[in-house]
Amino acid sequence: MSISTTAHLNFRGNAREALEFYHSVFGGEIMVITYGDFGMPKELPDASKVVWGQVAADDRFRVMAYDVPSQAGTGIAPAPSTRRENGMTLTGEPFFLSVRGQTVEEVGALWDKLADGATVVEAYGPAQWAPAFGMLTDRFGITWILDVTAPHAYA
């Protein structure tokens, strides 16, 4: 049996924009299906919003997204704060998306694209545990960790 996990992101009307941005960063194939494609009358406000979308790249990167229907209410908690304290990043974020690659250059190219319009939490660069590491919150409010694979010596 083979199992895979894909992050499924919830948006409030800008899922298409987010998917297009992630497609520009990671490449691959983008698929977007709207509520209207599923039969919602076009005159309703959510008809053009995304009921299901995905970016799937050849290197096995996957992310799915949709727009929460407006009838569902907001249900969004206030954004947690992220800060640096005593050399550590402290955050109340419930999750991060992690992207890990083999080389500083490969991951750095993705960093440069994701950083467009983002808030940098920790700049991309050498880290104690990896040849390179960085953390940012993109323009859609998603927090990403990017790092380069390094051999680990476990005690």
Is residue 56 over pLDDT 50?
yes
**pLDDT tens digits along 106-148:** 999 999 999 999 999 999 999 888 899 999 999 999 999 999 9
Q: Which of 26, 146, 151 is nearest to 98 (CA)?
A: 146
Domains of the chain: 7-70 (3.30.720.100), 82-148 (3.30.720.110)
Rounded to the nearest integer, the mean pLDDT of the chain is: 85
**What is the widest separation between alpha-carbon atoms in the chain?**
62
> Residue 115's pLDDT is what?
97
CA dist 124 and 133 (Å) reads 5
CA dist 116 and 66 (Å) reads 22
**pLDDT tens digits along 71-84:** 544 343 344 556 66
37 confidence band (pLDDT: 50, 70, 90): very high
